[in-house]
């Protein structure tokens, strides 16, 4: 028995392989947050006045708010005045092409397996790379432009397409939505912007790769995706950070807008540094993600694989406003060592005949605590709305925890909501059975965990699904035997 438990633990204790630091000159503002810092960020980015005003309004509102503590997560108080709110690798702020990118940066992304030079991309994925506070490179921009697709860093979008940014910024997640969204609205530094014009189906996956490098820096990115009538896009997001003893704050906002018959698929593989085996360090990940199915027959689908971060607090949600619109949420959340996750979704049914599907798979190992928190709400006019929710938890070892907090509110009589939940444990007998057939303990755990997550993985774009499976193996290494 002991041997098996040991293997479970060893499996869980695998090293984080993205923990290196890039040695690069950075242009940073001093730690702390006040109106001057916000003015400085806005000035550095040469922003129009309306955006500065929007930031200041958000900041003033944030000052009146209190940090939420309803989540099933414990952490020491965050000192918001100790965080650096802007850090950028020094380089010419406006790059003509890749050859102007600092070679150190290119090396960093190569090491992460994200080549930024377009000729190295085989899979046809356009990438925007965000390093600390700024976007350093966006690939395939010209090719997309021919179709009328805008895919750029957020800062560039503010410069080049201010009317679009102004129209949609804060239209899904208002700047006063919640504590972390308000903070982000005040200090957000960069992120990605996508606009798919009417009737265009984006021919390649769009992807943003986020990297926190500088110490004591917060990362506050903002992503805005707009799919006009009949447009379709699939967007991927990945993230890593160096290993550091101190916790770092990441508070992002993602807004999606789908008009009539538009489809947006948003996939995340979140692998921020999770902290060490004793729970020191790691990213505090407080993220607000929301999509608005504004048009009829529109569809927004969230798929997330959350393996990193010391703390994960995120609820990618869908507002189902257009009649017959569809919202989906597929999630795998893994906690190991001392990681904590409180994650789930909100499906708000407003239009008629709206449909939503929730599939959540929580995996807990080590001393990890994993909570699913979800709201399914069917408003009075959302007649004939449908929801199906499935929340499964898998436990590895006996020191971890799984919790489920489903909320269902149905305010009409023609709607239907179904909720299924299971909790299971990888048993020693399962591991032994696999070993008796010739598999190692690690392979056995991978097999069982991947089997458990299958319904979510098959929603991911193919290259990503393979990555996600590997990542899961690495995240859980040492946790089972």
Partner 1 sequence: MNLLEIKNLHASVQGNEILRGINLTVKAGEVHAIMGPNGSGKSTLAGVLAGRDAYTVTQGEVFYNGQNLLEMLPEERARSGLFLAFQYPVEIPGVNNSYFLKEALNAIRTHKGLEKLDAIDFLALIKQKVKIVEMDESFLNRPVNEGFSGGEKKRNEIFHMAVLEPLLSILDETDSGLDIDALRTVADGVNKLRSQENAIVVVTHYQRLLNYIVPDVVHVMKDGRLVLSGGKELALELEDRGYDWVHEEAGQTV
- CA-nearest of 108, 270, 262 to 194 is 262
Taking the complex as a whole, the smallest distance from the CB of residue 365 to partner 1 amounts, in Å, to 17
Nearer Cβ to partner 1, position 103 or 438? 438
Nearer Cβ to partner 1, position 199 or 427? 427
Taking the complex as a whole, the smallest distance from the CB of residue 1 to partner 1 amounts, in Å, to 6
Contact criterion met (CB below 8 Å) for 429 and 397: no
In this structure, are strands 311-314 and 340-349 parallel, antiparallel, or unpaired? parallel
- CA-nearest of 353, 298, 303, 352 to 332 is 303
Taking the complex as a whole, the smallest distance from the CB of residue 434 to partner 1 amounts, in Å, to 7
Both tokens of residue 108? 């960093």
Taking the complex as a whole, the smallest distance from the CB of residue 4 to partner 1 amounts, in Å, to 6
Taking the complex as a whole, the smallest distance from the CB of residue 44 to partner 1 amounts, in Å, to 49
Whole-angstrom Cα Rg for the chain: 22
Taking the complex as a whole, the smallest distance from the CB of residue 479 to partner 1 amounts, in Å, to 17
Nearer Cβ to partner 1, position 113 or 451? 451
Contact criterion met (CB below 8 Å) for 125 and 207: yes
Both tokens of residue 374? 């979800």
Nearer Cβ to partner 1, position 323 or 442? 442
Nearer Cβ to partner 1, position 97 or 443? 443
Q: Would you call 453 helix, strand, or coil by DSSP?
A: helix
Site residues, partner 1 (CB under 8 A): 1-4, 424, 427, 429-430, 432-441, 443, 447-448, 450-454
The distance from CA 361 to its chain's CA centroid, rounded to whole angstroms, is 16
Taking the complex as a whole, the smallest distance from the CB of residue 447 to partner 1 amounts, in Å, to 5
Contact criterion met (CB below 8 Å) for 335 and 365: yes
Nearer Cβ to partner 1, position 1 or 66? 1
Instruction: For 27-54, give the DSSP string.
Output: EEPPS--SHHHHHHHHHHTT--HHHHHH
Nearer Cβ to partner 1, position 216 or 450? 450
């Amino acid at each position: 028995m002991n041997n098996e438990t040991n293997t479970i633990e060893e499996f869980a204790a695998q090293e984080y392989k993205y923990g290196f630091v890039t040695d690069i000159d950075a242009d940073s503002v001093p730690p702390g947050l006040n109106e001057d810092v916000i003015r400085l960020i806005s000035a550095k980015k040469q922003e129009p006045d309306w955006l500065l005003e929007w930031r200041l309004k958000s900041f003033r509102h944030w000052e009146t708010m209190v940090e939420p503590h309803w989540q099933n997560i414990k952490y020491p108080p965050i000192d918001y005045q100790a965080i650096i709110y802007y850090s950028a690798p020094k380089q010419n702020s406006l790059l003509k092409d890749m050859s102007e990118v600092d070679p150190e940066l290119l090396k960093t992304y190569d090491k992460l397996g994200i080549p930024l030079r377009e000729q190295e991309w085989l899979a046809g994925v356009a990438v925007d790379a965000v390093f600390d506070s700024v976007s350093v490179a966006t690939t395939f921009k010209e090719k997309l432009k021919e179709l009328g697709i805008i895919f750029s860093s957020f800062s560039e979008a503010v410069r080049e397409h201010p009317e679009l940014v102004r129209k949609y910024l804060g239209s899904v997640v208002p700047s006063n939505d919640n504590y972390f969204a308000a903070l982000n609205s005040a200090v957000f530094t960069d992120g990605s912007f996508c606009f798919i014009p009417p009737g265009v189906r984006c021919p390649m996956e769009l992807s943003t790769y986020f990297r926190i490098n500088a110490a004591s820096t917060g990362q506050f990115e903002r992503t805005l995706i707009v799919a006009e009538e009949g447009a379709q896009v699939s967007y991927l997001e990945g993230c890593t950070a160096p290993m550091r003893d101190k916790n770092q704050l990441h508070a992002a906002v993602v807004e999606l807008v789908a008009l009539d018959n538009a489809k947006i698929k948003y996939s995340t593989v979140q692998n921020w540094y999770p902290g060490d085996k004793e729970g020191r360090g790691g990213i505090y990940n407080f993220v607000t993600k929301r999509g608005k199915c504004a048009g009829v027959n529109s569809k927004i689908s969230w798929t997330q694989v959350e393996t990193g971060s010391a703390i994960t607090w995120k609820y990618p949600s869908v507002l189902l406003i257009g009649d017959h619109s569809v919202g989906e949420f597929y999630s795998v959340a893994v906690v190991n060592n001392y990681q904590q996750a409180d994650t789930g979704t909100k499906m708000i049914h407003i239009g008629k005949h709206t449909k939503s599907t929730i599939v959540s798979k929580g995996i807990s190992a080590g001393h990890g605590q994993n909570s699913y928190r979800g709201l399914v709400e069917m408003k009075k006019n959302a007649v004939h709305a449908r929801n199906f929710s499935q929340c499964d938890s898998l436990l590895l070892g006996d020191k971890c925890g799984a919790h489920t907090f489903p909320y269902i509110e149905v305010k009409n009589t023609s709607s239907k909501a179904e909720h299924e939940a299971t909790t299971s444990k990888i048993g020693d007998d399962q591991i032994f059975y696999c070993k008796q057939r010739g598999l190692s303990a690690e392979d056995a755990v991978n097999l069982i965990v991947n089997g458990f997550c299958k319904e979510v993985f098959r929603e991911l774009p193919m290259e990503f699904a393979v990555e996600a499976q590997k990542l899961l193996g690495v995240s859980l290494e040492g946790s089972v035997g």
